[in-house]
Amino acid sequence: MTTANQQGLCLTVWFDGDCGFCTRVAKWLEEQPKFVAVRCVAAQSATSTSCPLDTAELLDKITVIANDGSVYRGTNAWITVLWALRNYRRWSLRFSRETWRPWAERLFATIAGVAKLTKRRPRIAAKQSR
């Protein structure tokens, strides 16, 4: 039943294009074997037509938007991305369990903290003037 739903499903991951760590993770993500297609797009390139959230909101939390309209943010977004990957779906199911969920929140918050450290100066103004 679920395979039919998953066929043709595509996840768009909005990441911070100014953050070196995020860019690396996005590149790594593209190379992983997947159950579900994943597309990484820099949040800075978001327009009102491509995404209902504005750039500031996208930069605040990692956001995953599926082509069926589902929006996942923060820890849910991480878990959904892991779910799409062939080698990490096991971890996704584990993290979503009640006992693991608090640890997942902490882990992903830490990763987000590390990501902020690798952030370059904002590029939004330059993008808009182009």
| HSE, side-chain direction, 13 A CA sphere, residue 26 | 22
58 belongs to the binding site for another protein (CB under 8 A): no
By beta-carbon proximity to another protein, the closer residue of 49 and 129 is 49
CA proximity to 29, closest of 92, 85, 104: 85
3 belongs to the binding site for another protein (CB under 8 A): yes
82 and 95 Cβ atoms separated by less than 8 Å: yes
Q: From residue 17 to residue 36, what is the string marking binding to another protein with x (rule CB under 8 A)?
A: ------------------x-
61 and 73 Cβ atoms separated by less than 8 Å: yes
Fill in the amino acid letter for 39: R
Min dist. Cβ of residue 74 to another protein (A): 8
127 belongs to the binding site for another protein (CB under 8 A): no
Q: From residue 81 to residue 120, what is the string marking binding to another protein with x (rule CB under 8 A)?
A: --x-----xx-xx-xx------------------------
Residue pointed to by tokens 């499903």: 9
Query: Which long-range CB contacts under 8 A does 106-111 form with residues at least 24 apart?
Result: 108/74, 108/75, 108/78, 111/78
Among 10, 24, 28, 70, contact with another protein (rule: CB under 8 A): 70
- Of 25-33, 72-80, 108-116, 118-126, the window that binds another protein (rule: CB under 8 A) is 72-80
